[in-house]
Amino acid sequence: MTNYFGTDGIRGEVGIEPITADFFLKLGWAVGSVLAQNNQNPSVVIGKDTRVSGYLFESALEAGFLSAGVDVGLLGPMPTPAIAYLTQTYGATAGVVISASHNNFQDNGVKFFSDKGFKLSSIDQKNIEQRLKQPMVSVSSNNIGKAIRHEQSLGRYIDFCKRSFDKSIDLSSLNIVVDCANGATYHIAKAVFSELGANVCIINNQPDGFNINLNCGATDTKGLQQIVLEKNADLGIAFDGDGDRLIMIDGDGEIVDGDELLFIIAKAWQACGVLTSNIVVGTKMTNLGIRRGYQDLGIDFIEADIGDRFVMEQLQKNNAILGGEGSGHIICLNQSTSGDAIIAALQVLAVIVKSAKTLGELKSQVQKYPQVLMNVKSTKKIDLHKNQALKLAQIEVQKKLGADGRVLIRASGTEPLIRIMVEGEDLQLVQKSVEELAATLN
């Protein structure tokens, strides 16, 4: 186990360890020292989302890398998947993203990509943590790294997104509303979709450092749903603050989540022979109805641990190209080395145009089981394996649900929460079961 890394990098509240300037300074040095040990002339690229603390941590990380003798390329505000792509484009040894993803501005964090555009392995993380325990010692003055700002990175990423789309498809028939969550896609999304022909209404694309994910984006779609209905749009597209989560809204204002979007893409790709290995990777949270939908299509479903890093591991292990989570992380490995919300949205738009079906019609091709998720705040660490009351309650709930229901209880990897998920055919029973399980934690 590592001390700092969670399911998706390092994350927490700004000003509280480890999300402080001095830690980020040493983190930059530690990562840089590991890179310098294993590579000649190492370099990194650093990108960030739009939260105000990004400037602080960008400077701290930059200083840490330079002091380890690592050259730095600054990208400015960019989506997380853009960093994965640009790390490879600029030939960097590693890529760094300063972001707390879907969290509000009070939080921040950092995640890393390898030179191949994949998130760092557990071994890499352990090596970094070992280096963090050592005293920080700068290289000599003639070996200090150099820093530049990459001015062309925005255009490069926009072109990359557009190249992932089938140019024979015309999007001019679609009226879409795009919610950028006042995050890292604010200056990218409209260009991509409108240049491919769609009629675009863009919202929440005025970041001020404090409004990222605030009542908007993939984690709060109420405003987008309302605007889709008011404008009689064909659909809505919602990103989170760092552009790696996608949630869509159909023409009736209904949410289409990551599980459903993944299914829509998988079914279309299978039909046209694109779905190599005939495999889709989901997670422990993937809905039972979705799993049975894959079974009906003859698509093999593989369950990964929760977190897009674990989805990626299973994709690579099984020579598969499509995976994701209900939260909206969708990895199209034939297009990108990380979950990319813009690219995933383009794949769905392609299915809509080719099939001549609405998003709502495509969603209706699979029926989800009722699923209730409850987050129980945890002020102190709870050992789920030793909580006998919870264990007994879970056994009783599973008996009532039978074969057509399931329970999943886990500690959040990014927040002080215990997440309880129950799903089954009977919504009333599912809701009651969640409440019973939560009561054992109070």
Question: 71: alpha, beta or left, given left = phi > 0 and alpha = psi -120 to 50?
Answer: beta
Give residue 308's identity as a one-letter amino acid code.
D
Residue bearing tokens 């129980």: 376
- The number of C-alpha atoms within 13 Å of 365 and in the hemisphere containing its C-beta is 20
Residue of 174, 221, 183 lying closest to 201 (CA atoms)? 174
- The number of C-alpha atoms within 13 Å of 339 and in the hemisphere containing its C-beta is 29
Give residue 6's identity as a one-letter amino acid code.
G
**Is 422 in contact with 437 (CB distance < 8 Å)?**
yes
- The number of C-alpha atoms within 13 Å of 334 and in the hemisphere containing its C-beta is 14
Distance (Å, rounded) from C-alpha 5 to C-alpha 121?
11
DSSP state of 381: -
**Is 311 in contact with 126 (CB distance < 8 Å)?**
no
Query: In which element (H, E) is residue 229 found?
Result: helix 222-230
Q: Three-class SS of residue 271? A: helix
Q: Three-class SS of residue 353? A: helix
**Is 437 in contact with 420 (CB distance < 8 Å)?**
yes
Catalytic residues: 101
